[in-house]
Structure 1
Amino acid sequence: MTTFAKLMGAASVALCTFASAPVLAEGGTLVIGSTQTPRHLNGSVQSGIATAVPSTQLFASPLRYDENWEPQPYLAESWSVAEDGLSVTLNLVQGATFHDGMPITSEDVAFSIMNTKENHPFKSMFDPVDTIETPDAHTVIINLSKPHPALLLALSPALAPVLPKHIYGDGQDPKTHPANSDPVGSGPFILEEFTPGQAIVMKKNPDFFIEGRPKLDEIIIRLIKDESALLIAMENGEADMYPFMAQSTSIKRLEKDENLIVTAEGYAAVGPINWLAFNLESPKLSDVRVRQAIAYATDRTFITKALHRGTSSAQRGPIIESSPFFDETIPAYDVDLEKAQALMAEAGFADGMELTIDFIPGPKEQQQSIAEYLKSQLKKIGIDVTVRAAPDFPTWAGRIASHDFELTMDLVFNWGDPVIGVHRTYLSDNIIKGVIWSNTQSYSNAKVDELLNAAAVETDAAKRKDLYAQFQQIVAADLPVYWINATPYHTAYNAKLLNPPLGIWGTMHPMDTVEWAE
């Protein structure tokens, strides 16, 4: 019997008898249910929910953020930004160690930031980082080629895990390094077992550098492909938390359980947008009129009101509508089948065409259901759509990253600031095959590059807003993607759980203060 099987047997017994023998405030096990299957656990070279949730428990980062969007100390006990905005100094805590006992030094932090810059799909996130000085073991000076208004946010747990240089600096490719699946970090929990497709077991780090933390003895992430099984696990106590829940039926179902709390809090920095992506390398989709025709044929209101039962909201552009940078004047492409048919004819496809659409496997409502809706809806303008399923997330991600698709449903996060989560989709120099959630549409527009590069260094909020408004108008005309809705993420958790992760990053944040009520 594997360690996971033993732990799950013990956890099931404990949870089934929870009412008579509640877990004490100190210690205990938190079982998180997830439909997201990670390829590995290193958030320095991989974005997304599947990797970020375990990565932020295993790796510490320079800073962390509170629920008010204010940076807080983590590996850096203090920091300062130069008056000209061209350097940031981090003062590291004393005595912090990696899980193998090696001390964390400024060299590790410098190595990690540069590693993330070179290998993470969010190319713009650390692009302004020029050089990093390490004058002593606990001082890091990040020198920038230009001001970077999103730098401190980029030093958050989900975006900037600190890696041990003595392990990752051995010359191997960071994207395929064997330590990615068996990591040595410095976070509140230590990896006990990673069984791909089944579970991630993480034990309490007894030498964590923040005294008295973590509160829990262990966190188990159960990887459950079938959402129905996950809902049952939540209802019968085999799982204690279900984050990133987006299905309207699931949300309404678990809200009825008196032993659970269901909330939409915890996703402020995520900015999740559900969209239809076009592969502009396809000769059928390289003509903007075809993309616009598809947009005019898609009824966004029907999707949000009928398919999603009113739990999601329409999304008209690349920047989440709740952001101060969103441009209200962006064209909405409200459904107009006559206009769509005329555009198809103008593009030379009056007799129609055939296209294939992919979708992220998992909960159907936000992905597969929309793909199937598009199959029926686009037939009205002469497009015969084949819906192509993937057996699991890595298969879908591999197809999209290698640009082996025509249309795909996708879910992409704004990640708090446009320079982190928006730029990556539209910058022409971020067309990188093999990297998911980069510019997989192969979209290239010199004016968009100019505007985004200017917004990335503009420290005046009003001027920055204007630059993003111009950008939104251009991409709304070019339509490398058609934005559909903001994903209605919710978290369901056991009512006896204290300090659940409801800050701006939700469960993509260290859960060192989470504990059970007595």
Structure 2
Amino acid sequence: MATSAMAQQSLLVGSGEVPRHFNGAIQSGIATAMPSTQIFASPLMYDENWNAQPYLAKSWEVSEDGLAVTLHLVENATFHDGTPVTSEDVAFSIGVIQENHPFKTMLAPVTSVDTPDATTAIINLAHPHPALMLAMSPALMPILPKHIYGEGPIQQNPANLAPIGSGPFKFVEYRQGEYLKLEKYDDFFIDGKPMLDEIIVQIFSDPANLVLAMERGDVDMLTYMAGVRDIARLQKADGISVTNEGGDSIGAINWLAFNTKKAPFDNVKVRQAIGYAINKEFYLKRIMGGFADDAMGPITMTSPLATDEVEAYAFDLAKAEALLDEAGMTKDADGKRFSMTVDYIPGFVEGGRNLAEYLRSQLKQVGIELDVRTSPDFPTWAQRISSYDFDMTQDAVFNWGDPVIGVNRTYMTSNIRPGVIWSNTQQYSNARVDELLEQAAIETDLTKRAALYKEFQQIVVGDAPILYLSDLPYSLAYKDTLEGLPTTIWGPASPWLDLHWTE
């Protein structure tokens, strides 16, 4: 599709994601977030430096006690059916998100939303909630039209598959597993935006065909590429550029997680020993091809709340052996200490399958016999991990901007929830960690908040319920004549206001 030669500014995007629907108020994940952020507007946007920018809210104030956030909405925003966006829609949307979104901590302190007039919404809080500002981003707080989504159960609303929002693009057509078509909303409230006239997302079931289509010029852009061989291949293709800029707030971390209630992984020295037995430099350079950055703790290193003042678990086989001896896991006559299994997310090649195979040979050097257990599909893997039927698993979990939203869920004792994947499936419990996370969730002073999270990170890295390996090298491939890329902290899960062709 030679889009650059067309009079219309049309963009053909290749994707391997199949959205279940497009309502980001009740569904998490990038499969929904990428189209949802084009269709729906939100109170705020964010730039590449974590700074809040006006969007549906032209301005806002936080009360001195931190218990109220007042949004002043733009006067000229309309939904795609021509109905004005009002504070009632904001209040309704916040209620929908509170009741239905899987990230329960995101808006948990919101007690009510006052609507004194059509363009003023006052969000009232039970306690200060600094995470609220990032929670008002496009990927997390789409503003729904109450008159459309307020009829009947929200989960069954037909508008979830034929959405009406107030974002830069309006929904035209969706054929599940095939394509999604969006068109520019001519009455969008930001003058001159968006610059594209049309977006078509073509869905590919085979990742190899997706990369080949980009290589041949059949599609114009690929988002959320994480396969390092695919990234390297497209970097060499003529007329194509690849960037990993943007998306810092998604904070995808690849890690190894232990079942801390199962012996011998209930012993911190065993978990630490495995950390020292892993040559992370080999993992980063050889397995991940040099495309992934080191992950040192539970908060992505691009976050202003991250610290590198933690135990690095530098490769040290002698130290690993000493810790295993101290833990009572001595070698038998054959040099074996114990056996264990490792799981990985199916379909994840380099950071999953290849990592697991590497660990088999690596841990054998310290007397641990490792069995790599495969899962036929994602539901099987998720069921095993969420029911605690595992020893150690590779996993990839997102920060989602603020630790309250995406980090706390992994470490809070209160979030040990059998049957729920991406909760505290490690069954990790530390009273001081719980206390720190609760304090940091309500601390509005950034310096004090960072200090609380620093102590949290140091404790968790030391306790080693999880061994942090790297970020996921999410990259965006695009034709060279495409400009205005979405490189804010939300990357492609932000409105594509400036994307356009230069010729």
TM-score by length of 1: 0.86
Which of these residues, 342, 355, 366, is aligned with residue 341 of structure 2? Answer: 355
| Separation in 2, partners of 1:213, 1:323 | 29
For residues 147-226 of structure 1, the aligned pairs below 5 Å read 147-170=128-151, 172=153, 174=155, 179-226=159-206
Q: 2:5 is paired with a residue of what secondary structure?
A: coil
Task: Tell me what 2:333 maps to.
Answer: none
- What do residues 485-517 of structure 1 show as CA deviations (whole Å, max 9, x unaligned)? 122332211111131212221111011332222
Q: More displaced, 137-146 or 43-52?
A: 43-52
Which of these residues, 59, 80, 83, is aligned with residue 99 of structure 1? Answer: 80
Unpaired runs of 5+ in structure 1?
A: 1-13
Offset at residue 34 of structure 1 (A): 2.5
| Separation in 1, partners of 2:180, 2:381 | 21
- What is the number of equivalent residue pairs in this alignment? 496
Task: Tell me what 1:8 maps to.
Answer: none
Offset at residue 157 of structure 1 (A): 0.4
Which of these residues, 48, 73, 80, is aligned with residue 54 of structure 2? Answer: 73
Q: More displaced, 137-146 or 334-343?
A: 334-343
Task: Tell me what 1:319 maps to.
Answer: 299
Q: More displaced, 36-45 or 313-322?
A: 36-45
- What do residues 411-447 of structure 1 show as CA deviations (whole Å, max 9, x unaligned)? 2233333333322322233344565443333333221
| Residue 511 (structure 1) aligned with residue 492 (structure 2) | no
Q: More displaced, 291-300 or 432-441?
A: 432-441
The answer to whether the 8 A contact 2:342-2:394 is kept is no
| Separation in 2, partners of 1:91, 1:399 | 47
Mark the CA change 1:322 to 1:507 in structure 2 (over 3 Å): closer, same or farther. Answer: closer
Task: Tell me what 1:387 maps to.
Answer: 373
| Separation in 1, partners of 2:418, 2:182 | 33
Offset at residue 400 of structure 1 (A): 4.9
Offset at residue 464 of structure 1 (A): 1.8
| Residue 239 (structure 1) aligned with residue 225 (structure 2) | no
| Separation in 2, partners of 1:352, 1:198 | 48
The answer to whether the 8 A contact 1:121-1:437 is kept is no
| Residue 296 (structure 1) aligned with residue 276 (structure 2) | yes
Q: More displaced, 53-62 or 189-198?
A: 189-198
Offset at residue 341 of structure 1 (A): 4.9
Which of these residues, 428, 438, 449, is aligned with residue 434 of structure 2? Answer: 449
Offset at residue 450 of structure 1 (A): 0.9
| Separation in 1, partners of 2:268, 2:141 | 37
Mark the CA change 1:238 to 1:401 in structure 2 (over 3 Å): closer, same or farther. Answer: farther
Amino acid at match of 2:136: L
Amino acid at match of 1:122: F
Amino acid at match of 1:480: P
| Separation in 1, partners of 2:164, 2:429 | 39
TM-score by length of 2: 0.88
Mark the CA change 1:141 to 1:194 in structure 2 (over 3 Å): closer, same or farther. Answer: same
Task: Tell me what 1:414 maps to.
Answer: 399
The answer to whether the 8 A contact 1:162-1:185 is kept is yes
Task: Tell me what 2:207 maps to.
Answer: 227
Offset at residue 91 of structure 1 (A): 1.6
Amino acid at match of 2:57: A
Offset at residue 343 of structure 1 (A): 4.9
| Separation in 2, partners of 1:188, 1:436 | 34
Q: 1:366 is paired with a residue of what secondary structure?
A: helix
The answer to whether the 8 A contact 1:45-1:120 is kept is yes
Mark the CA change 1:52 to 1:283 in structure 2 (over 3 Å): closer, same or farther. Answer: farther
The answer to whether the 8 A contact 2:276-2:313 is kept is yes
Task: Tell me what 2:334 maps to.
Answer: none
Q: More displaced, 282-291 or 369-378?
A: 282-291
Q: More displaced, 475-484 or 32-41?
A: 32-41
Offset at residue 59 of structure 1 (A): 1.6
| Residue 487 (structure 1) aligned with residue 472 (structure 2) | yes
| Separation in 2, partners of 1:150, 1:173 | 25
The answer to whether the 8 A contact 1:31-1:222 is kept is yes
Mark the CA change 1:163 to 1:487 in structure 2 (over 3 Å): closer, same or farther. Answer: same
| Separation in 2, partners of 1:109, 1:399 | 39
The answer to whether the 8 A contact 2:341-2:390 is kept is no
Mark the CA change 1:75 to 1:31 in structure 2 (over 3 Å): closer, same or farther. Answer: same
Q: More displaced, 38-47 or 477-486?
A: 38-47
Q: 1:408 is paired with a residue of what secondary structure?
A: strand
Offset at residue 171 of structure 1 (A): 5.4
Q: 2:20 is paired with a residue of what secondary structure?
A: coil
Q: 2:351 is paired with a residue of what secondary structure?
A: coil
Mark the CA change 1:339 to 1:114 in structure 2 (over 3 Å): closer, same or farther. Answer: farther
The answer to whether the 8 A contact 2:246-2:488 is kept is yes
Offset at residue 339 of structure 1 (A): 4.5
Amino acid at match of 1:502: T
The answer to whether the 8 A contact 1:23-1:517 is kept is no
Task: Tell me what 2:246 maps to.
Answer: 266
Unpaired runs of 5+ in structure 2?
A: 331-336
| Residue 142 (structure 1) aligned with residue 128 (structure 2) | no
| Separation in 2, partners of 1:477, 1:139 | 47
| Separation in 2, partners of 1:353, 1:205 | 59
Task: Tell me what 2:42 maps to.
Answer: 61
Identity, in percent, stands at: 52
Amino acid at match of 2:61: S
Mark the CA change 1:278 to 1:185 in structure 2 (over 3 Å): closer, same or farther. Answer: farther
Amino acid at match of 2:249: A
Offset at residue 64 of structure 1 (A): 1.1
Mark the CA change 1:261 to 1:111 in structure 2 (over 3 Å): closer, same or farther. Answer: same
Q: More displaced, 329-338 or 302-311?
A: 329-338
Task: Tell me what 2:314 maps to.
Answer: 334
- What do residues 356-380 of structure 1 show as CA deviations (whole Å, max 9, x unaligned)? 4021525x22333212322333344
